[in-house]
Amino acid sequence: MNDTGTPKRGYADLHEHLEALRKEGLLLVVDRPIDKDAELHPLVRWQYVGGVEEHERKAFLFTNVVDGRGRKYRFPVVVGAFAGNRVIYCIGMRARAEQVQPKWDHAIANPIAPRIVKEAPCQEVVIEGDALKGEGNGLDMLPIPISTPGFDSAPTLTATNVITKDPETGIQNHGTYRAGLKAPDRCVVRMATRVGGAGGYRHYLKYQKRGEKAMPCAIVLGCPPCVAFVAPMKLPLDVDEVGVAGAVAGEPINVVRARSVDLLVPAEAEIVIEGLIDTEHLEPEGPFGESHGHVALEEFNMPMRVTAITHRANAIVASYLSQVTPSESSAIKRVSYEPMFLSHLRNTLGIREVKRVTLHERMTALRRVAIVTVEKGAPRTEIWRALYGATSFKADCGKICIAVSEDIDPDNSDAIFWALAFRTNPAKDLQVLPYRSLGHGPEREQEDVYEQEEDSTLLIDATAKEDLPPLALPKREYMERARTIWEELGLPKLRPQSPWFGSPAGGDWLPYWDEAARRAVEGRYLENGRASEKLRRKGLKPETRFRPDKEA
């Protein structure tokens, strides 16, 4: 790492990223007054619970933000800018969807050390000392939204890169942890203490063991997308995430020394909140609507005394929509985790029959239900090896793993239930495995609870065990023909849900039946009747199958 004066870069900061979204029609600018405490997050939430298709979701930029008392803020707020949908995420990664996983694989294996600069946009404005105190100052000057109005007890920082440093190795960690506001110069940070939880918590324990009463911390809002994306990912321990971000960008990330703590922070960030986390005392934090879908009740967490706030002159406050999935935070994990699972099963374990891995998003926080799609004819041994591999890949993912055939849309829960209902024999196709960590959930996340309690795993083979007739829906050509008429009649806008047509591909279906169906559609069903009359038989039981391909 070398010190340089003026930062140079080829990667996008948040402002440039928003301009790219605007050009693609993916940025909605809201200029009317919006109450950050009661209206802002609920408004964005509607695109996730209002039947809006995933590809139609956008980033929301609020330029006229007020609070519950009518106080106006000078900073705009953006929600959904990093992963409002898959396309937004891919624009931030500067990669097509199929390139995301190879790009992450390469970046993790080939990190690029950051470049230290002396001057940085994130320090254009510096607030320290008494300027951090008093209502309307410090944290209280920032338009931080209330995420779950009616339940949350405070505005909460959500779209964070929380930076801490290992006191022994000096390696920094970036993690996405929430921080509830308590005073203009104080917040409380929540880091997961469970197995496989927060890297920052491991640093906290080391500071405690060394007898140090404070841990330096920087909470960064509005990083360049390539930097923002590394924080919520579970990278290997002792990997400096900013080096991985540099490999994603293809060049070193510019970092600058924080003003009041011994940490390096992203130079092009929007806002940096510097401070010291108390390693002796804890303070109640919450309630807060968590990503596992329930409200997390009050817990004792880590108070942080703010020592400085630095920001760009034209800073934008970034906020994640979390809580019940789907959400922005779940989309970030889904887009990055799914190809990671697929690569593990196909490349690491060599199960070539696996075609896709889908982490069910709605209501399950992406951690509990995994759908493994396997090709027709996959050996039963490989199906089960894929299920074992998926459930063991990440400690907090895949509590329930279901294998399905390629004709099942893994994003359609009704199709999954259909496969479970008609393609599983519970006595043969179901396994329960003990000894699983509780993972992220509504249970109280305290260390003693996780030491005493365990969860288990459910594996289900819901693949087709034999060739089956086509799905009983009209063929695609007839559904499309009917849709044209529907639209001509001015009927309500259609949002097709898979499956919306039937297909004979790969199923138990003969050309003989295809020809008969074509004659029926052409109004020539009487010809079919004359043909079947010639095939009458004696001495058969009703419901005896007729196979024209096997008739003499």
Q: Angle, to 10 degrees, between the axis of helix 86-93 and the axis of helix 14-23?
A: 130
Q: b vs e for 524-551, b when ≥16 Cβ sit within 10 Å of the residue's Cβ?
A: eeeeeeeeeeeeeeeeeeeeeeeeeeee
Using one digit for the tens of pLDDT, what is the confidence trace for 346-379? 989 999 999 999 888 776 666 789 999 999 889 9
- Looking at the fold, whether 191 and 247 belong to one and the same domain comes out as yes
Is the distance from CB of 107 to CB of 247 less than 8 angstroms? yes
Question: Are 385 and 435 in a shared domain?
Answer: yes
Q: Which positions ≥6 away from 239 have C-beta within 8 Å?
A: 108, 111, 171
* 87 and 41 inside one domain: yes
pTM listed for this prediction: 0.81
Q: Based on the domain organization, do 157 and 52 belong to the same domain?
A: yes
273 or 237, which is more confident = 273
Q: Are residues 315 and 361 in the same domain?
A: no
Distance, in Å, from the CA atom of 18 to the CA atom of 21, rounded to the nearest integer, reads: 5
| Residue 341 in domain | no
Q: Considering only CA atoms, which of 53, 74, 75, 62 is closest in space to residue 27? A: 62
Among 155-159, 328-332, 401-405, 478-482, where is mean pLDDT lowest?
328-332
* CATH (domain of 150): 2.30.110.10
Residue range of the domain that includes 80: 3-319
- Are residues 521 and 457 part of one domain? no
Q: Residue 413 belongs to a domain with what CATH number?
A: 3.40.1670.10
Would you state the pLDDT for residue 412? 86
pLDDT band per the 50, 70, 90 thresholds, residue 247: very high
Nearest to 312 by CA among 267, 253, 245: 267
Quick one: residue 3, left, alpha or beta (phi over 0 = left, psi -120 to 50 = alpha)? beta
Band (196; pLDDT cuts 50, 70, 90):
low
Task: Find the mean pLDDT for residues 113-136.
Answer: 96
* 213, 101: one domain: yes
Statement to judge: residues 218 and 298 lie in one domain: yes
Is 70 exceeded by the pLDDT of residue 14? yes
| Amino acid in the structure at residue 243 | G
Decide if pLDDT at 178 tops 50: yes
Shared-domain flag, residues 197 and 295: yes
List, in order, residues 6 or more apart from 185 with CB less than 8 Å away. Answer: 132, 133, 138, 139, 305, 306
Residue 339, domain member (yes or no): no
In a domain, 255, yes or no: yes
Residue 328 belongs to some domain of the structure: no
Say yes or no: 172 and 115 in one domain: yes
What mean pLDDT is predicted for residues 289-312?
A: 88
Answer whether residue 329 is part of any domain.
no
Instruction: Tell me how many domains the chain contains.
Output: 3
* Domain limit, last residue, from 430, 461, 492: 461
285 lies in some domain: yes
Mean pLDDT of 279-288: 92
Q: What is the pLDDT of residue 81?
A: 94
On average, the pLDDT of the chain sits at 89
If asked whether residues 257 and 353 sit together in one domain, one would say no
276 and 366 inside one domain? no
From CA 462, how far away is CA 34, in angstroms rounded? 47
pLDDT in tens, 44-66: 989 887 878 888 899 999 999 99
